[in-house]
A = this chain, B = another copy of it.
C-alpha cells in the first residue's frame, strides 16, 4: 500500500521511530497494526526532523489483508490522531519503495514578515519580521540555482552520498505578510533546505552578499554559508515519482 500523509509536526520528534519520543512513523505504524491485526512496518520517503510539517509525505507498507485502498484510508484515519491524516491510499506496485523510488521532493519554508506575527501562524512560520529586503531574498534564492554542493548547507553530511545535488527549482512568493520559499530537487542532505533558507535570510537582512551564497554553493564548506533556519517553518509538500 502506498499512502500520502499530512501532519502537523509540532508535537512529534520527527518522522523516524525513536525510543521514548512520539514520532509520526510510530503513530502510523500503531494505527496500521490495529487495522491489519498484526505488526506493520511503515517506510517513509524521507525523515522529517522534529517540528517539521508535511502536506505530502509518502510511505509504503506491506499488508496481508485483502482490503481496498479506500477502506484502508478510512480505517487508518479512524485510528490516527487529528494532527496526522492519510490523504490518499493506493495499491502500490510490488517493487515500489517510498524512498528508493522517489525521484524528487518539494519543500516549502514559510517566513513571517509582520511586526506582530499571528499566533495562528506561529507553529508554521519563522518570524523574521519586516526588516527584510525581498529583492535580496529573491536574488539569494536564484544564486542557489546552478552548481550546488549541499555540504555547505547541511549538518552531519552523510559520508557516502553525492554532495553535488543541484536544485531543479526555487521560488519566493510574498503574500499577506509572509514569504513562502519553495525548493525542489532530486534529493537533499540533512538540514540542507533549512541551511539554504537561513543563508537566504542573512542576505535579506543585509548581513551577507548574494555572491557569498553562490560561493558557498560551489565550495561545499559549511562555514561559508549561514545559520540553519528553525524546523517549524519547513514543510515537506510533495514527493515526486517518475510515473507521475
Contacts and interface: CB of A to CB of B under 8 A. Distances in A.
Interface of A: 6-8, 53, 55, 73, 77, 82-87, 116-120, 122-124
A117 B73 CA distance: 12
Nearest to A114: B87
Nearest to A77: B116
Nearest to A5: B119
Contacts of A117: 85
A7 B118 CA distance: 8
Contacts of A82: 119, 122-123
Contacts of A6: 118-120
Given A6-B119, A85-B116, 13 more contacts: A6-B118, A6-B120, A7-B119, A73-B116, A77-B116, A82-B119, A82-B123, A83-B119, A84-B119, A85-B122, A86-B116, A87-B116, A120-B124
A126 to B, nearest CB: 12
Contact of A85 (B55, B77, B87, B119): B119
Contacts of A77: 116
A83 B55 CA distance: 22
B118 A83 contact: no
A6 B6 CA distance: 26
- A53, A83, A86, A119 interface centre (most CB from chain B within 10 Å): A119
A97 to B, nearest CB: 24
A122 B73 contact: no
A237 to B, nearest CB: 12
A88 to B, nearest CB: 8
A87 B116 CA distance: 6
Contacts of A83: 119, 122
Contacts of A119: 6-8, 82-85
Nearest to A88: B116
A73 B6 CA distance: 35
Contacts of A87: 116
A86 B117 CA distance: 9
Contacts of A73: 116
A230 to B, nearest CB: 12
Nearest to A120: B8
Contacts of A86: 116
CB-CB nearest 5 A-B residue pairs = A82-B122, A85-B119, A83-B119, A8-B119, A6-B119
